[in-house]
Amino acid sequence: MRVCLGTACIAVTFCSLLGGTATGGQGLFKSPGTAAVENGSHAGNSRNCRIIYLGFVGALEPSNNKHSGVVQIRETLQGKQYPDVCANSFSPYVWMEGQDWLLKHFPAHAGALTTEELQVAPKVILVGHSMGGWAMMSVARELRSRDIPVELTVQVDSVGITDYTIPRNVKAAAIFHANDLLMFLTTKHLRREDPSRTTILENVTVAGAGHESITRDPRIRELVMEEVESLRTKFAASEAATGATAAGADGAAQK
């Protein structure tokens, strides 16, 4: 298990207290050892997985915290209307378990994926709240080491010392933050490792939001769902083009 350093560790105490207040005390009594994956049976439809949604909740929150917008999006994407999406959520304390779950949907060999492998690999969407933002960026950097692209990252009141720079494999990024108790610890501005490859879609201060309630800002959900629908539209167009090409080839062969 990897642990945070510096200001991120200070923030854990605040996050746990806030999480406990907002979720009926759950956050107060979850230790790192018990804040692990609690929804292994909801890993999504792995055999048909074309899109992966991986979310990280805040520090000391249970990974199934029904009050978290991160989890609410996961639950929507686990619905029957999204059979092509694999969705899961994890605690930042076990972020490597989340990473391992994601990588099970990719070829197991070491090193970068080939062009052919990437063409059929799932598309990745990452969302992280509080220290989950730090965890999410850790996963994004690991994917970068294998040249696996990330379609979208969304940081929500992100806390950490290594969550400022968006790695070059991320295509689009957004960050939402609140003016609350953690305002001096949360990340407000993002840097791009390669501005030519990454677009910053949103940098939003959410008025009136607290550290926990900000996860339910509808704009976060809209960003994720729009990306999912955009990817599904591209899949359909690609399949239609492939089908038309195949039909044309069959017709020519019959002549």
**Per-residue three-class SS string for 95-133:** HHHHHHHHHCCCCCCCCCCCHHHHHHCCEEEEEEECHHH
DSSP state at residue 92:
G
The pLDDT tens digits for 115-155 are: 999 999 999 999 999 999 999 999 999 999 999 999 999 99
Phi, psi of 55 (to 5 degrees): -115, 150
Amino acid at 144: R
| Predicted local confidence at residue 186, as pLDDT | 86
| Predicted local confidence at residue 252, as pLDDT | 62
The architecture in CATH of the region 7-236 reads 3-Layer(aba) Sandwich (3.40)
The proportion of the chain whose per-residue pLDDT surpasses 90, expressed as a percent, equals 64
For residues 94 and 56, the answer to whether their CB atoms sit within 8 Å is no
All structural domains of the chain with their residue ranges: 7-236
Q: Measure the CA–CA gap between 98 and 111, rounded to whole angstroms.
A: 19
The pLDDT tens digits for 20-68 are: 333 333 333 333 433 344 344 344 444 589 999 999 999 989 999 999 9
Q: Measure the CA–CA gap between 33 and 46, rounded to whole angstroms.
A: 27
